[in-house]
Amino acid sequence: MSTAAAGPLQGLRILDLSTVIAGPWASTLLADLGADVLKVEMPGVGDPLRALPPYKDGVPLWWKAANRNKRGITLDLRRDEGRELLGRLLPEHDVLVENFRPGTLDKWGITKDWLHGIHPRLVILRLTGFGQTGPYRNRPGFARVFEAMTGFTNLCGEADRPPLHLGFPIADAVGGLFGAIGILAALHHQRQGGGDRPGQEIDCSMMESMFRVLDFLPIEYDQLGVVRGRSGNTSQYAAPGNVYQTADGRWASIAASTQRIYERLCAALGRPDLVSDPRYATNRDRVAHRAELDQALAAEIAKHRIDELGRMLEANEVGFSPICDIADIFEDAHFAARQAIVSVPDDELGTVRMQSVVPAFSETPGAVRHAGPSLGQHNQAVFRELGLTDAQLDGLRAAGVI
């Protein structure tokens, strides 16, 4: 029973052994684009993500979004019977995703040699906190750890205040993105060889994924010796770029990163003198005098309500957005026109709404077919496909294998 639909990855089959966010998110991104993903959870308890809020009537909502478009089964991989059933599932899949600590699957007998002995072309994504090698390989890893360790958290907050963590585990999302890219790259390499090339392991470190996103920080330190720190909402590389309060108490984020946009911002606010002022002649000058410039701009912006300011800046083609919350987003005309939020069927909650598929394809669009499965929802269908009888399934269930 496949749930795969039309999409650029139609026909790709993924076996997802991973838990919580980053690993499951990697496979979910591919499921959105048509891949058939089979999610494997521990019997009885399931993925630890099920234990994280928010809930509705005891149903975990984060789980529903993070594991959408997947079929779900339970299987205790620590048991010989569980490993045997995993071996029977492997030939039907192109990719295996796991995010256990390095060596965990090996202890259960699920080694690379065992996996490739059954399915030589299997692509294996190993998504871990610190990678398969190095002195930190066995450390427990969480998004906040990677964000702090890579210097990202040191950039967040006011200069004279403690560093701030974001209210969302951004490193998990970043790690999942790099994991999904790794899978697609490995499959491309394999298919360039006519599909006969052996499958390879992908060692995706969430620490390194988060570090990669910080783009110019290493070369800046290497070449200039600069240790970049916190600057609140102020852009460190362009001015003006800040968050400003409007007359009705709302907050606006404005970016004027190029000379022409800066000039249009000054025109919109009726301050052409800020263009001719030699302190603000170039972006380098503006960055050097950002405090005075921000003070002048903040005073002008505070004269206008958020809707009026928006019209003025849009008319002058200045980058701008109110600071939106999720309620604002649900009412936004552009989100609606783009169908960025879609209604999705769910077997426990009826209909739920969540983000649509990104990116959009002209000829082979992906789709959100259903929300994340309930625990063991597809046990009967999947294991019957392997030839197991109802009596065998009852026995496995009683023994805690499924």
Q: Which residues belong to the active site?
A: 172
351, two tokens: 């209909």
Rounded distance, CA 192 to CA 194, Å? 5
- Dump strand ranges (E) for 42-120: 55-56, 59-60, 70-74, 95-98
Decide: 179 and 23 in contact? Cβ < 8 Å.
Answer: yes
Rounded distance, CA 3 to CA 187, Å? 21
Residues 6+ apart with CB under 8 A from 1: 71, 378, 381, 382, 385
The one-letter amino acid at 81: E
Rounded distance, CA 381 to CA 373, Å? 13
Rounded distance, CA 377 to CA 347, Å? 9
Q: CA end-to-end span of the chain, whole Å? A: 18
Q: Is the backbone peptide bond immediately before 54 cis, with ω within 30 degrees of 0? A: yes
37, two tokens: 């993903």
Q: What does the angle CA 24 – CA 18 – CA 1 come to, to the nearest 5 degrees? A: 75
CA 256 to chain centre: 28
139, two tokens: 């450390």
219, two tokens: 């070369």
State the pairing for strand pair 123-128/95-98: parallel
Nearest CA to 292 out of 303, 304, 278, 306 is that of 278
